[in-house]
Amino acid sequence: MKYTQFIIAILICSVLILFCSNNLNAQNKNNIDSILSKLTLKEKIAMIHAQSKFSTPGVPRLGIPELWMSDGPHGVRAEISWDKWEHAEWTNDSITAFPALTCLAATFNPKLSKEYGISLGEEARYRKKDVLLGPGVNIYRTPLNGRNFEYMGEDPYLASKMVVPYIQGIQQNGVAACVKHYALNNQEKWRTHINVEVSDRALHEIYLPAFKAAVEKGKVWSIMSAYNQFRWQYCSHNEKLNTILKKDWNFNGVIISDWGATHNTKQSALYGLDIEMGTGTDGLTHSLKNAYDNYYMALPLLKMVESGEIEEAFIDDKVKRILGLMFKTTMNKNRSFGKMNTKEHHSTAKKIASEGIVLLKNNNSFFPIDTIKKIKIAVIGENATKKMTLGGGSSELKAQFEISPLEGIQNKFKNATVLHAMGYSSGPSIYGEIIPTEFDNKKLKKEAIEVAKKSDIILYFGGLNKNHQQDCEGDDRKSFELPFGQNELLNEILKVNQNVGVVLISGNAVETPWILKIKALIQGWYLGSITGEALAEIISGDVNPSGKLPFSFPKKLKDNSAHYYGELSYPGDSINQYYKDDILVGYRWHDTKKIKPQFAFGEGLSYTTFKISNVGANKKVYKQDDKIIITTTVTNSGDREGAEVIQVYIGKPNSKVNRALKELKAFKKVHLEKGESKTIELQLNLKDLSYYNESISNWELEKGNYTIFVGNSSQNIIKKLNIIIK
């Protein structure tokens, strides 16, 4: 087929697709209007609140099905009972556990995010779920937040870039993604009521961008409101937040409350909440049987509409949005049937896991460890064997299998003698409770030191876990340091053997007082079903690490922006909390205040080396609608293939407003064979350099000088370019 014929064919197809999709939307709109005209008020009210823990009723009379939801962001949660927070004990709900979203963010690879969404969406579809309650994109403000492992790090641009493909992947299966928790849920302590005070500027520049990208670029079909308050209104029915969402961003989907996050009937009706879930009914009724009728948006709202206090039009808008979501999901005849626990899903999970693992220290090429060596390897630490898909709160998973780090090492290093010692025990991971361990930690430590004495190499698998007040929903960590006596254990091990490589399994930064004494450090995330294989591939060198930190590691807690300003800034006084760090969160804080972090945002080593050269910009002077195009040559100057992440940050010297020294505005991951060079382009829109001007409640692009920082981490800038915006 000649080129022109090919182009014509493409054009015809795209016009047809456009026509069909517009036609479908028009058809659905007609269907929605026609259904709405048939619904009674009681049927409408029934549709806007739960009928069970994870479902809302349809309208059997009209053949409208129920809407079924499920957690979570890293995999489809086991079936929960109809009315109670317990597992339904089904036998067919074991799934693939994908890596936690901090790991996905650490890949800095949006393509993998799409693959993640597709695979997870297939599993949600197969489990007959219409709404998957994820991803979470709350910004990492403090390393103590119990749920940071579920989110995409400290930078709004990185989170915005990674959340969009994930949503698209989920939704192409006819399953709604539900981006959460909108907004300012940046800690678990007092999450159900704390009132967050933050400037409009920090709200728009730091805490909302990922949600905005999810709506405007990801076209997400649902959003989950957060538990907390913002300026003394609960987020579920917060006039300011939901006006931004539904008016400024034109969100045409459904706002679903977090479970028990609804507190006011009239505000829910008027300020945009569409579906009320999980309301505790203790305060509303004593019996479960009619609990759902007593939800804020159930009988109490029905009475307000019947009395004329609330116009029925507010209910109609909610129902139309819900029907719109149903036509894309449960009433969508064209959606696939989904798949679960396939080889493809396992390989996707493994690829994301190994590409997200971050190598942070590697003295004398401690890693990789050659698999042919006949050496004694000691695998020490509870995290070498502890199941990490369990616990953590609502993102808990019933994985069909979970390969532990110990199994991964044993399977990979067949020629070595692998010795194992638990070293320490944290006790069982029970949501909401701390259960003391039944192990004798003194004995465990002694055994570990004995094993360390007779080994050539020590791989220490420690970090945090999914226990209460660790990386877990419902509360925050109590300390920045490693828990369960790990620092003492590590120091004792180092006294008898210096050849130690540490692998942290965690979703948060931790204090690393032993960093100068150990040979190597890997940040391993909660990696899901294929944990052990992914770690073993990195440790053996089968895979070259290319992950980059999605958040900073402060040297000590006081170096972190949220903790610098004391209790009122974090965790607040149990009533109010003030984000006094404002726009300076994460590396924005460290770089602007010149507080060097232990490890920087965007940092990650490789087993090869890269050279960044010939950094240039397409212009020196830019006008309003120009594009900034940065080019640079990246060379793999080492002796094996690998991938590097080129990062472009922007700063504005002598700005008329307070600004961070630099802000991430573009990144690109480039894979290079040994000796290979590639010249890459990174594009920025000028409007992305704007700041949020509170005096006009809008974005403003300041003219004048800007600095472009190009490097491979927020702290490792290879070249600075000065440009001018006229």
Question: Using CA atoms, how far apart are residues 483 and 270, in angstroms rounded to an integer?
Answer: 46
Q: Which listed residue (71, 93, 155, 258) is catalytic?
A: 258
125 contacts ligand GLC (rule: CB under 6 A): no
259 contacts ligand GLC (rule: CB under 6 A): yes
Compute the least distance from the CB of residue 77 to ligand GLC, in Å: 8
Residues 39-58 vs ligand GLC: string with x where CB under 6 A? --------------------
255 contacts ligand GLC (rule: CB under 6 A): no
Q: Which of residues 80 and 451 has its CB atom nearest to ligand GLC in the complex?
A: 80
Angle at 295 between CA 293 and CA 296, to 5 degrees: 130
Q: Which of residues 69 and 297 has its CB atom nearest to ligand GLC in the complex?
A: 69
How many C-beta neighbours within 10 Å does residue 638 have?
Answer: 17
183 contacts ligand GLC (rule: CB under 6 A): no
Compute the least distance from the CB of residue 259 to ligand GLC, in Å: 4
480 contacts ligand GLC (rule: CB under 6 A): no
Angle at 101 between CA 97 and CA 103, to 5 degrees: 90
Question: Using CA atoms, how far apart are residues 255 and 183, in angstroms rounded to an integer?
Answer: 12
Name the residue type at position 123. Answer: E
258 contacts ligand GLC (rule: CB under 6 A): yes
Residue with tokens 């491979």: 712
Torsion of CA 500, 102, 532, 469, to 10 degrees: 80
For 216-240, b/e burial (b = at least 16 CB within 10 A) is eebebbbbbbbbbbbeebbbbbbee
Q: Which of residues 149 and 259 has its CB atom nearest to ligand GLC in the complex?
A: 259
Compute the least distance from the CB of residue 180 to ligand GLC, in Å: 5
396 contacts ligand GLC (rule: CB under 6 A): no
Question: Using CA atoms, how far apart are residues 195 and 205, in angstroms rounded to an integer?
Answer: 20
The candidate with the shortest Cα–Cα distance to 445, out of 489, 388, 481, is: 489
Two tokens, residue 108: 């800095």
Two tokens, residue 280: 């505790």
SS (H, E, C) 481-530: CCCCCHHHHHHHHHHHCCCEEEEEECCCCCCCCCCCCCCEEEEECCCHHH
Helix (H) or strand (E) holding 632: strand 627-636
Within residues 63-102, the interface with ligand GLC by CB under 6 A covers: 71
Compute the least distance from the CB of residue 304 to ligand GLC, in Å: 27
Residue with tokens 């997400």: 220
Compute the least distance from the CB of residue 557 to ligand GLC, in Å: 25
Question: Using CA atoms, how far apart are residues 115 and 132, in angstroms rounded to an integer?
Answer: 16
Q: Which of residues 71 and 533 has its CB atom nearest to ligand GLC in the complex?
A: 71
Question: Using CA atoms, how far apart are residues 591 and 596, in angstroms rounded to an integer?
Answer: 7
Two tokens, residue 46: 């029934």
Q: Which of residues 133 and 299 has its CB atom nearest to ligand GLC in the complex?
A: 133
Compute the least distance from the CB of residue 367 to ligand GLC, in Å: 35
Compute the least distance from the CB of residue 256 to ligand GLC, in Å: 9
105 contacts ligand GLC (rule: CB under 6 A): no
Catalytic, 258? Answer yes
577 contacts ligand GLC (rule: CB under 6 A): no
Beta strand pairing status for 717-725 and 621-622?
A: parallel
180 contacts ligand GLC (rule: CB under 6 A): yes
Question: Using CA atoms, how far apart are residues 305 and 269, in angstroms rounded to an integer?
Answer: 10
Q: Which of residues 180 and 412 has its CB atom nearest to ligand GLC in the complex?
A: 180
Q: Which of residues 119 and 394 has its CB atom nearest to ligand GLC in the complex?
A: 394
Residue number of the CB atom closest to ligand GLC? 394
Q: Are 618 and 672 in contact (CB under 8 A)?
A: no
Burial degree of 565 (CB within 10 A; 0-12, 13-18, 19+): middle
How many residues bind ligand GLC (CB under 6 A)? The answer is: 6
Compute the least distance from the CB of residue 309 to ligand GLC, in Å: 30
Q: Which of residues 432 and 566 has its CB atom nearest to ligand GLC in the complex?
A: 432
Question: Using CA atoms, how far apart are residues 202 and 196, in angstroms rounded to an integer?
Answer: 12
Compute the least distance from the CB of residue 399 to ligand GLC, in Å: 18
148 contacts ligand GLC (rule: CB under 6 A): no
Residues 127-146 vs ligand GLC: string with x where CB under 6 A? ------x-------------
Compute the least distance from the CB of residue 565 to ligand GLC, in Å: 26
Q: Which of residues 296 and 587 has its CB atom nearest to ligand GLC in the complex?
A: 296
Two tokens, residue 582: 């404002």
Q: Which of residues 132 and 380 has its CB atom nearest to ligand GLC in the complex?
A: 132
Q: Are 228 and 185 in contact (CB under 8 A)?
A: yes
Sole binder of ligand GLC in the list 55, 102, 145, 394 (CB under 6 A): 394
Question: Using CA atoms, how far apart are residues 152 and 169, in angstroms rounded to an integer?
Answer: 17
Q: Provide the annotated active-site residues.
A: 258
Give residues in contact with ligand GLC (CB under 6 A). 71, 133, 180, 258-259, 394
